[in-house]
Structure 1
């Protein structure tokens, strides 16, 4: 139960009961990251249902983007911007890690997050009705599973930090629970075609993890956020071929 609460504490800004910090429970909370994604997706689906009755589709898409930022406190976007600044700095490994640790946002980070949000807006804009509802539930679940997968698969690049706690306590058991939740959500909502999204998630998480580990010697907390944000957009892109085939 503690691990579930810590998963929501770390990945959302939802009102939650206060509990004493427990390093082990926090580190093992990665098992429930997809459950957090499902909850966020459900809240977004409720928001979408209310908004579509009052506003045109472009406003609906914009509010979906803003709504997710509000619910998460922009925690993953912050990691995304820091990661872009560091990875594209062209500096040494140590300097890249320093840049990512710096709370200030550079030009690469600003450009990157603008492109990311524009992509999200347009991709949400192209989805309607029950298709949109299903994707709202699936995408946040799988993108957060990708973080658990990356945490389990790749080493941590820093000697300390919150991300290090995840790296220490996330093992086969946590990944198995997380995978079971993610597969169940995807299978129920998207059936066999959902495994295409899981495949995309696995392949691109592995590819990103390998490339970043080569540059940094491992992953960091910021990189976990980067993976979540990049995976959300990638999964939204991957959804369209499946939906278009079904429409033919």
Structure 2
């Protein structure tokens, strides 16, 4: 029962999926981040089902746009809000204290809008390159890898949120992770291993390239947060999820073309 409550809290915090209303206890609230990858499972399953049902019946452009909208609809744009706040702060080139203030500002800055447009175009270009491929097999592999990426990225986000220093000791992320125990960490590690393992079984080359790309970005994210903000925050966690998902998707899209080119050369 307690496990179900912790899952329900995770879905209430990180998604817009309706959950039963009950009183949150601190010990359950502080374990909710362990189930962040479950939101990725839901997003990935819906994306896969939509593509499988629509393949051959809907144009590739329509499928690509629907697949791009699914994670936004399920999360309510929760992570995009953090992405825009951090984009504003990074583009301001202010000191650490001023950058943290900018992230707290509820107003939308010009750099946030510009960053969102660039991000959206990059994400859509990579996704459409998958759904509009001539090879249905490569497209299916790519969409499956894309779907699994939601789990992998959220598991990594949970782990980085736990292990990296916090920029604000009184922030929401610090409250969620400061008492993260072995149970929370092991669930996130298991989610990461299952996600990566599933991807490597379904499409070894594409998943391997995407994993390397995301792990390299994770190292960059760690350095960036420490240097610019003094650690991670709830906003940087949202920024990480958006950026890592986009990088993972781009790597998958590029890999699909490399695989097709290699197969064409062989035959």
TM-score of the superposed pair, with normalisation by structure 1: 0.91
Q: Distance in 2 between matches of 1:212 and 1:92?
A: 13
Deviation readout 1:144-165 (Å, 9 max, x if unpaired) = 1121121122111113232122
Q: In the superposition, relative to structure 1, how do residues 152 and 202 fare at CA in structure 2: closer, same or farther (>3 Å)?
A: farther
Q: In the superposition, relative to structure 1, how do residues 241 and 58 fare at CA in structure 2: closer, same or farther (>3 Å)?
A: closer
**Partner residue in 1 for 2:13:** 10
**Partner residue in 1 for 2:67:** 64
The Cα shift of 1:205 comes to: 1.2
Alignment of 1:108 onto 2:111: yes
Mapping of residues 37-56 of structure 1, within 5 Å? 37-52=40-55, 54-56=57-59
Q: In the superposition, relative to structure 1, how do residues 110 and 55 fare at CA in structure 2: closer, same or farther (>3 Å)?
A: same
The Cα shift of 1:245 comes to: 4.4
Query: Which residue, 145, 149, 162 being the options, matches 2:172?
Result: 162
Indicate conservation of the 8 Å contact 2:165/2:231, yes or no.
Answer: yes
**Partner residue in 1 for 2:37:** 34
Structure 2, unaligned runs of 5 or more: 132-138, 263-267
Answer with 1 or 2: which has the greater Rg.
2
**Partner residue in 2 for 1:174:** 184
TM-score of the superposed pair, with normalisation by structure 2: 0.85
Query: Which residue, 97, 110, 115 being the options, matches 2:100?
Result: 97
Q: In the superposition, relative to structure 1, how do residues 124 and 69 fare at CA in structure 2: closer, same or farther (>3 Å)?
A: same
Runs of 4+ in 1 over 6 A off after TM superposition: none
Indicate conservation of the 8 Å contact 1:151/1:166, yes or no.
Answer: no
Q: Aligned Cα RMSD in Å?
A: 2.0
Q: Distance in 2 between matches of 1:19 and 1:51?
A: 38
Alignment of 1:149 onto 2:159: yes
